[in-house]
Amino acid sequence: MDFIITFLNGLSLGGVYALIALGYTMVYGIAKMLNFAHGDIIMVGGYVLFVFVGLTGEPILAIILAAFLCMLIGISMEKAAYKPLRGASPLAVLITAIGVSYFLQSLAQIIFGAAPKFVVIADLGTITLGSLVIPVYSIVTLVVSILIMIGLSLFIKFTKTGRAMIAVSEDKAAAQIMGINVNNIITVTFLIGSFLAAIASVFYLLKAPNISPTFGSKPGIKAFTAAVIGGIGSIPGAMLGGFLLGIVEVFSNSVPQIAPYTDAIEFLILIIILLVRPTGILGKKRREKV
């Protein structure tokens, strides 16, 4: 019985990791950069929810506003910090991303202070199935994240923009020659990534309703790990990596003797996978031409 609940909790945490990992993996696949500020978009989403749930008392409205503002910040971040560096060395972009991350964290601390804020979006309670007491948020998280992933896959496969995204990720120069506006595609990617991060912040706050300026860094690192495990650049890989990491985390937390080593176990999995399959589970092998 405990096993079922733990498994469900793992899937729901994994769903959240997968959503965030998608943001990392899509940006990497299309813009060929690691957006380390991605985790902090979750934090921004959390604070927007904090402000608007407090102001309006309307969770749905607050979620829509959070998604909207996260997307706005996502594209402004891209336009202001990353676009001028298009063509610069990957290292410069990486350092910029870390800078943006610190900028967002410090900004949040200046505006909201260092003390954590508590955000109750909605108290969903629990449902009882026989002897199982299941928290509703984990079901909601799992179902919604799976729906979003299906939607995203359909979007990428069947829309013009989605196919353009695949084209850009496969060969930027060729895509440009074929008339695809690469800059627009990158903007759309950041838009989608930030939307997913906003949704992830909702799920996080349903689970642990606490928000602080550094709130996004740990989930960010975990989701990045998930993206690398799954194969960075690969969308199904990010989902797989997210679920895998979520389940491992919840299960190792549920054994008291192993719990202190949860993080170590997760990163050990990363190391092993990188040793066995350097491109991740579903990552494409690239042949270097000399």
Partner 1 sequence: MKNLFKKVAMVVAVTMLAVFTVSMSGCGKKNTEFVIGLSGPLTGPAAVYGLAVKNSAQMAVDEINEAGGLGGYKFKLVAVDDQHDASKVSTNYATLMKEGMQASLGCVTTKPGLEFKKLSKEDNVFFMTPSATADAIPEYDNGYQMCFADTKQGTYSANYVNDNVTVSNNKIGVLYNSQDDYSKGIYQNFKAQLASKFTLVEASFTEDNPTDLSSQVELLKDCEFIFLPIYYTPASVFMTAAKGKVSANTVYFGCDGLDGIDTAIQGFDINTIPQEVSYLSHFNSQSPTGAAAEYISKYTTKYGKDTLNQFGASAYDCVYAIYGAMKKAYDKDNSKVTPNTSASDMCELLKAEIKGGYTFSGVTGTNVTWDASGYVNKAAVKYVVKAKSE
Q: 72 or 120, CB closer to partner 1?
A: 120
By the rule CB under 8 A, 99 interacts with partner 1: no
Considering only 50, 190, 224, 243, the residue that binds partner 1 (CB under 8 A) is: 50
The nearest distance, CB 194 to partner 1, in angstroms, is: 19
CA 26, CA 190: separation in Å to the nearest integer?
Answer: 8
Task: Say if CB 267 and CB 254 are below 8 A apart.
Answer: no
Which range binds partner 1 by CB under 8 A, 32-40, 180-188, 190-198, 212-220?
212-220
By CB under 8 A, residue 68 contacts partner 1: no
Residue 57 Cα distances to 68, 153, 212, 235, angstroms: 18, 33, 20, 35
Rama region for 133: left / alpha / beta (φ>0; ψ in -120 to 50; rest): beta
Residue 111 contacts partner 1 per CB under 8 A: no
Q: Measure the CA–CA gap between 25 and 224, rounded to whole angstroms.
A: 8
When asked if residue 119 is in the footprint of partner 1 (CB under 8 A), the reply is: yes
Q: What residues from 163 to 202 belong to the interface with partner 1 (CB under 8 A)?
A: none
Question: Phi and psi for 35 in degrees, rounded to 5?
Answer: -90, 85
Task: Please report where in the chains the tokens 């108290």 appear, as a residue.
Answer: 123
Interaction between residue 57 and partner 1 (CB under 8 A): no
For residue 114, give both structure tokens.
């260092």
The string of DSSP codes covering 78-130 is IIIIIGGGTTS-HHHHHHHHHHHHHHHHHHHHHHH-SS-EE--S----EEEET
279 binds partner 1 (CB under 8 A): no
Cβ pair 250, 239 in contact under 8 A: no
Residues 32, 214, 236, 279: which binds partner 1 (CB under 8 A)?
Answer: 214
SS3 for 278?
Answer: coil
113 contacts partner 1 (rule: CB under 8 A): yes
Among residues 190 and 215, whose Cβ is nearest to partner 1? 215
Binding residue for partner 1, selected from 215, 224, 230, 234, defined by CB under 8 A = 215
Stretch that binds partner 1, among 4-12, 60-68, 176-184, 186-194 (CB under 8 A): 4-12
Contact status: 59 vs partner 1 (CB under 8 A): no
Please report how close the Cβ of residue 213 comes to partner 1 at its closest, in angstroms: 8
Is there binding between residue 45 and partner 1 (CB under 8 A)?
no
Total number of residues binding partner 1 (CB under 8 A)? 44
DSSP summary character for residue 261: G
Q: Which two tokens stand for residue 248?
A: 């491992």
**Which of the stretches 79-87, 117-125, 164-172, 231-239 binds partner 1 when contact is defined by CB under 8 A?**
117-125
Q: Residue 9 interacts with partner 1 (CB under 8 A)?
A: yes
According to DSSP, residue 135 is labeled: E
Among residues 9 and 145, whose Cβ is nearest to partner 1?
A: 9
Tokens representing 267?
């990163």
Query: Whole-angstrom Cα distance, residue 236 to residue 22?
Result: 9
Of 251, 269, 277, 281, the residue at the interface with partner 1 (CB under 8 A) is 251
The answer to whether residues 18 and 149 touch, using CB atoms and an 8 Å cutoff, is yes
Contacts to partner 1 by CB under 8 A = 2, 5-6, 9, 12-13, 50, 54, 109, 113-120, 123, 125-126, 133, 135, 138, 204, 207-210, 212-215, 218-219, 249-251, 253-254, 256, 259-260, 262-263
